[in-house]
Amino acid sequence: MTLEDLYELIPDFPCLPGCTECCRVSAPPSRTPGEQVRLIEYVQSHAVRLDPREEGCPYRSDDGCLVHPVRPFICRLYGTSPGYLCRMGIRPVRLLHEDEEADLFHFYYTHFAP
């Protein structure tokens, strides 16, 4: 199983256009070495200009996430489970159950984290 396979297990939902609420209140996202490589490659190949800010994630802009296609696991999980509800009230059609969230974290840390 790859990171992409794991990501496919997380429900997708449309964020509000330009919303960066989760990015604004969070520090830079935790990520595995593999996710870090993906971020670096994406930033370099797309000439993304990071905007280090005093608060929040450096991958956000006034228009949204600069690295959305390669965002890490924790960013993908945000808004999809009881432990990571979107502060703006946006939800997928079906929230993950607490047990599903725990299983995803277990698999993520067991197979992809150092």
Token code pair at residue 76: 């993908």
Say if residue 103's pLDDT is above 80: yes
Task: Check residue 65 and give its pLDDT.
Answer: 87
Going along 1-114, which residue ranges are E strands? 60-61, 64-65
pLDDT in tens, 63-91: 888 899 999 999 999 999 998 899 999 99
Task: Check residue 53 and give its pLDDT.
Answer: 65
Number of domains in the chain: 1
28 vs 1: CA distance, rounded Å: 26
Mean pLDDT for all residues in the chain: 89
> In angstroms, how far is CA 28 from the centroid of its own chain?
10
Burial (CB count within 10 angstroms: exposed 0-12, middle 13-18, buried 19+), residue 64: middle
79 vs 86: CA distance, rounded Å: 4
The residue range of the domain holding 43 is 3-111
pLDDT in tens, 3-55: 999 999 999 988 888 888 888 777 778 889 999 999 999 999 999 888 776 67
102 vs 107: CA distance, rounded Å: 9
Task: Check residue 76 and give its pLDDT.
Answer: 93
Task: Check residue 50 and give its pLDDT.
Answer: 81
First to last CA, the chain: 16
Highest mean pLDDT among 29-33, 60-64, 102-106, 110-114: 102-106
